[in-house]
Amino acid sequence: MSTILLVEDEDLNRTLVKAVLARAQIAAVRHAEIIDAGSLAAARERLAGGPIDLVLLDMNLPDGNGLTLARELAAGEMALDGKRPVVVAVTASVLPQDRAAALEAGCDGFLDKPYAAADLVAVVAEHLPG
């Protein structure tokens, strides 16, 4: 079973993402363990607590920009057993330079807000291991 870290400061958004993934038609997505964090500090704690396969990373968080965490992960600063999680930026910032900045910071994918439930499931399925 894969583990997904959902980094999102809005409670409602976290609840919706969890509900969508729990109802996904793709078994690997539906059965993934989802842990969440509402800030960069909480995300760092969760990452230190055990292996994470995929991070869904909001860019605008109360204690900073998600790109900071993406850079830390890309640099291997929080890798467990030499492995870093896949990082997907999830943001309402859809300008081409924002997408480029996310990819340059080390994000492996990008999901624009607002998104359809099917798009969320597809991105998660694409980036989960195995």
pLDDT digits (tens, 9 = 90+) for 51-75: 999 999 999 999 999 999 999 999 9
Question: DSSP letter at 61?
Answer: E
Sign of CA dihedral 97, 102, 105, 107: negative
Phi, psi for residue 40 in degrees, rounded to 5: -65, -40
Sign of CA dihedral 93, 55, 102, 39: positive
- 85 pLDDT higher than 70: yes
Domains of the chain: 3-127 (3.40.50.2300)
3-state DSSP assignment of residue 120: helix
The answer to whether 89 touches 101, Cβ cutoff 8 Å, is no
**Percent of the chain at pLDDT exceeding 70:** 97
Q: Where does residue 27 rank: exposed (0-12), middle (13-18), buried (19+ CB within 10 A)?
A: exposed
The answer to whether 45 touches 15, Cβ cutoff 8 Å, is no
Band of residue 93 on the pLDDT scale cut at 50, 70, 90: confident
- 78 pLDDT higher than 80: no
Sign of CA dihedral 50, 51, 54, 55: positive
